[in-house]
Structure 1
């Protein structure tokens, strides 16, 4: 129960900060993310130089290709998730459409005679008014 209250409090604080100065929050988060990526890049460069005995240029190239591989992997994961969500939404829309069509057919079958009668009366009145 305490964790739920904590997450609710954090959500409230984040929404309040966004409502007051949303641009500042985005800038701080963007800058923090950039600094974290730079620190990770420097750490990987150092590890590749020390462990694999690479030159600084070779370590940078290996880090860059590793980043490309991670981005491609993340891209395929995100694309797969988007495709699954898209297919689920399409399936939901199709189910809703079929349900609506079935309801309309059932309504028509229940009221078919009334509709024919009303249409006939309107047609006869139109004929009578024309002559």
Structure 2
């Protein structure tokens, strides 16, 4: 995953639902390799908060940054209190994921635009 966005308060977040045993920070625990860079490609140090599904950037960046991360798709290995309708998982025939289980973002971003690049021959279904 990659995104370009402003992070005016120096914090990135994910939505937190009721979390299952083994992933106390919910979907944020399934994000790997988060990298944040200024437009010039210089990395900004990122520290994951141990109590909330968020990451702190220091120093607080001015303007937009680019974030890159991988998302583990083994959500189905956990017993989510809200059920599997909000978790990301795969089968032999498909990938399924919701926005809250997928996107790292700045708090209070408002509307966003998402672009998917999928392999040739794949289809994409959205609400």
Greater strand fraction, Structure 1 or Structure 2: 2
Higher normalized helix content (fraction of residues): 1
TM-score for both structures, normalised by structure 2:
0.15
Q: Structure 1 length normalisation: TM-score?
A: 0.15
Structure number with larger C-alpha Rg: 1
